[in-house]
């Protein structure tokens, strides 16, 4: 009898692991039901509050973060408004969150024509990769908001890092 019970449990264990791995369990971090599921949108950014940061010498965009939008939630998520300006002056504006421990970002809203926000319904956490499509987020992650010795603790630390050209604990300073 004990042998059958042990065999049944041994056969069920891989199914339980698979259920967690493929997102059927409640502990999957990508679930959108935690405290970060509904984040209040900031004021629409004003050009005088743009903090520039360098992504690449070859990118066709200039990138900025709105200083007044930076915040760090109780859950450790860094929130910010990202602005990308093309060479002809067109703007792409998004309000985003960044989770430093697992290197993920999420877009909550895009800027609209009337300087208003258009919220995204099914926003998901996505891995930050150092590739042309997510280059700006990789730079924010590595050099400003998520240095190797711990993520920023406050909005002021994020603003200082952007004003000073990087976080002193980041890789760009050789740490």
Provide the pLDDT for residue 158: 94
- Which residue in the block uniquely carries the two structure tokens 């890789």? 171
Provide the pLDDT for residue 24: 33
Nearest one of 99, 80, 81, 95 to 35, comparing CA atoms: 99
Provide the pLDDT for residue 58: 83
5-9, 74-78, 97-101: segment of lowest average pLDDT: 5-9
Give me the CATH code for the 47-173 domain, please.
Answer: 2.40.128
pLDDT: is 6 or 52 the higher one? 52
Q: Does 105 have pLDDT greater than 60?
A: yes
Phi first, then psi, for residue 57 (nearest 5°) are -70, -20
Q: Does 20 have pLDDT greater than 70?
A: no
Band of pLDDT at residue 34, cut at 50, 70 and 90: low
Beta-carbon-side half-sphere exposure of residue 154 (alpha carbons within 13 Å) = 3
Give the pairing of strands 61-66 and 50-53.
antiparallel
Q: Is the Cβ–Cβ distance between 102 and 92 less than 8 Å? A: no
Q: Does 26 have pLDDT greater than 80?
A: no
Q: Is the Cβ–Cβ distance between 94 and 107 less than 8 Å? A: yes
| C-alpha span between 141 and 147 (Å, rounded) | 7
| C-alpha span between 147 and 109 (Å, rounded) | 25
Indicate the domain borders of the chain.
47-173
């Amino acid at each position: 009898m004990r042998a059958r019970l042990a065999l049944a449990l041994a056969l069920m264990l891989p199914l339980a692991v698979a259920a967690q791995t493929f997102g059927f369990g409640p502990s999957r971090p990508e679930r959108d039901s935690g405290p970060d599921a509904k984040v209040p949108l900031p004021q629409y950014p004003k050009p005088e509050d743009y903090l520039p940061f360098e992504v690449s010498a070859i990118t066709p965009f200039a990138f900025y973060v709105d200083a007044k939008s930076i915040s760090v939630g109780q859950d450790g998520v860094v929130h910010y408004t990202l602005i990308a300006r093309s060479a002809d002056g067109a703007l792409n504006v998004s309000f985003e969150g960044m989770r430093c421990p697992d290197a993920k970002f999420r877009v909550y809203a895009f800027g609209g024509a009337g300087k208003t926000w258009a919220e995204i319904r099914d926003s998901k956490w996505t891995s930050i990769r150092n590739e042309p499509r997510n280059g700006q987020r990789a730079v924010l992650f590595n050099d400003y908001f998520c240095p190797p010795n711990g993520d920023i603790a406050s909005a002021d630390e994020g603003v200082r890092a952007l004003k000073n050209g990087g976080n002193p604990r980041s890789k760009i300073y050789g740490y």
